[in-house]
Amino acid sequence: MIGIISFVGFTALVAVISYFATIKTNENTSDGYFLGGRSLTAGVIAGSLLLTNLSTEQIVGLNGSAYKDGLSVMAWETLAAIAMVVTAIFLLPRYLKGGLTTVPQFLAKRFDVTTKTITSGLFLTGYVVVLLPVILYSGSVAISGMFDIPTLLGVSDQSAIVICIWGIGLIGSVYAVFGGLKAVAVSDSINAIGLLIGGILIPVFGLIALGDGDFFTGLDALVNTHPERFDSTGESWQEVPFVTIFTGMMLVQLFYWGTNQQIIQRALGAKNLAEGQKGLLLASFLKILGPIILVIPGMIAYQYFDGNLASSDLAYPELVRAVLPKPLIGFFAAVLFGAILSSFNSVLNSSVTLFGIDIYKQHINPQAPEKTIVKYGKIFGVCLAIAAMFIAPLIANAGSLFNYLQQINGIYSIPIFTIIVVGYLTKRVPAIAAKIGIISGSVLYIISQFWIGPSRVEAALEKAKAAGITDPQALRVVEADAYPHFLHIMAILFIANVIIMLIIGKIKPRETPFVLEYTKQVSIEPYKYVKQFGLVICAIVIAIYILFAK
């Protein structure tokens, strides 16, 4: 009961603070609703970026990966810092100079409206079919298990999941649809504080448990019992082989932190370029500390449970249940709920933005006043949320959530990133090249990862088992050698699509070179120390890899 009271109390506190922080924001204009009135400051941007990124599918999934492979999976976190530095220095100045509300708006200016519409459609499809349902389902599993909802309400496990899905979905919709970006960003910032505190408590109590009551004894045991698991350079058969850092990993990070609407929308709402850059730099520095929450607990769980858990995805929830003092479970559940809610309402808010600006205003009612655009954006958001709530229970049959997300997102992430990069770095590549690039990138990735790859892997595994190979690690090596890692495939397709677009640009260039105009929406005077701090952050990341390299 104490846990439920603290859970409800903390959640209500966040809602009240968000309400009073946004009560004076004009939500009847596009800038007011979609970008928080272009008034977001560095601290709010950094907090919102971190909380938007963190949710149960990552907290549970990445710790599960660390349980299996050790420290090498930290690449998903540490390399994000470098991607945010690149975004702050190179991409954000161009976004704010063009006065963008959505990333696809740039594609309309650089190429044409059709390219923008295709991109917005890909984003929205990915959000409603994959990302929103996964967030709802994984979050509901965590909350249902933490509070034992089936026993509390006297319902089946599946019914409890459905109840939690609709509860999270409805509360998230209120924030995102009726509060706009500023309500989302403010609630994110408050929850970020709670998540950092709660997230750090798990490895602290875990190490204390490993050391039989002594933190430093536990730390010594973690480092020295399995020193090979503290290698920052992953093997070829592991989830993040070291060489992928130089191929598709950085492309995925640059797409996610530099062009993904649900993320970059926070920086687009900055009151000026300097605040946006400071927000990204602050978030990038904090991201370096991410493995403390998202990797170390999984490594502690491996040692605490002697590697005997039935599934690696159980590592985090089982560790929480085993080491966290009972009075703190309610607070941690509230923090985790905040992370779930943050990711859900952030994606939903970005979907509303994409529909309102890029589809409704562009194709349905070009003459609509801004109040009408916001109104129909909200209606679309409600429909999207309801659709996601119906789809979410079906995710139970999707297998590993983390791998499912990474693989499916590749269908649109690299093609979109490709045309944005070529669009900014060239002036004469025509719109037809962008259309061919985004369609060919998506189709070739689908063929590679969902047709050729699985058939090659299946054949290799059957051959290995016929030869008497049954050891799980040996089979992982066979699987890794059968077909290139999906991050390598992304890099290959990125290079291929860039070449295709450049060839088309050479054969049939634009009649006039593209020029990015300054709309004067906000000041684009950069933060004077952005490059210096960016170099420091990159140096820290490189030093971490050198320090932990075998």
29 or 126, which is more confident: 126
- pLDDT at residue 501, as a whole number: 95
Average pLDDT over residues 149-153: 84
- pLDDT at residue 125, as a whole number: 81
179 or 171, which is more confident: 171
Type of residue found at 494: F
Alpha-carbon distance of 196 to 332, in angstroms, equals: 10
- Residues 357, 101: contact at Cβ < 8 Å? yes
- pLDDT at residue 370, as a whole number: 73
Residues 378-403 pLDDT 10s:
788 788 888 888 988 887 665 555 66
251 or 141, which is more confident: 251
Residues 442-475 pLDDT 10s:
999 999 988 999 899 889 999 988 888 888 888 8
- Alpha helices by DSSP H, listed for 363-430, are 370-391, 401-425
- pLDDT at residue 375, as a whole number: 77
pLDDT above 90: percentage of residues in the chain: 36
Residue 355 DSSP symbol: I
Q: Helices 326-353 and 56-69 sit at what angle, rounded to 10 degrees?
A: 120
Highest mean pLDDT out of 96-110, 128-142, 485-499: 485-499
- pLDDT at residue 12, as a whole number: 64
- Residues 63, 294: contact at Cβ < 8 Å? yes
Average pLDDT over residues 94-123: 85
Q: Rounded to the nearest 5°, which phi and psi values hold at 516? A: -80, 115
Q: How many CB atoms lie within 10 A of CB 363?
A: 10
Please tell me the class of the 31-548 domain.
mainly alpha
Q: What is the pTM of this model?
A: 0.82
Average pLDDT over residues 347-356: 75
Output the CA–CA distances (angstroms, integers) from residue 229 to 65, 67, 73, 131, 406, in the order listed.
12, 9, 11, 31, 23
176 or 170, which is more confident: 170
Alpha-carbon distance of 96 to 330, in angstroms, equals: 41
- pLDDT at residue 177, as a whole number: 57
The total number of residues written for the chain in this structure: 550
- pLDDT at residue 196, as a whole number: 76
Please say if the pLDDT value at position 217 is more than 90: yes
Output the CA–CA distances (angstroms, integers) from residue 520 to 268, 270, 280, 524, in the order listed.
13, 13, 21, 8
pLDDT averaged over every residue in the chain: 83
Residue 96 corresponds to which tokens in the numbers above?
């704010």
Output the CA–CA distances (angstroms, integers) from residue 195 to 10, 60, 174, 199, in the order listed.
12, 14, 21, 5
The confidence band for 31, taking pLDDT boundaries of 50, 70 and 90, is very low
Which residues does residue 40 pair with via DSSP β-bridges, in sequence order? 270
Of 137, 168, 219, 197, the residue nearest 324 (C-alpha): 197
- pLDDT at residue 467, as a whole number: 87
10 or 250, which is more confident: 250
Average pLDDT over residues 124-144: 80
pLDDT above 70: percentage of residues in the chain: 87
The confidence band for 266, taking pLDDT boundaries of 50, 70 and 90, is confident
Could you please report the per-residue DSSP string of 181-247?
Answer: HHHHHHHHHHHHHHHHHHHHHHHHHHHHHHTTT-HHHHHHHHHHHSGGGG-SSB-TTSSSBGGGGGT
Of 509, 454, 461, the residue nearest 486 (C-alpha): 454
- Residues 475, 461: contact at Cβ < 8 Å? yes
502 or 271, which is more confident: 502
Q: How many CA atoms lie within 13 A of 103 on its CB side?
A: 33
Alpha-carbon distance of 151 to 160, in angstroms, equals: 9
The confidence band for 36, taking pLDDT boundaries of 50, 70 and 90, is very low
Residues 486-525 pLDDT 10s:
899 999 999 999 999 999 999 999 989 998 888 887 888 9
Output the CA–CA distances (angstroms, integers) from residue 326 to 267, 312, 316, 317, in the order listed.
38, 24, 16, 14
Average pLDDT over residues 176-183: 53
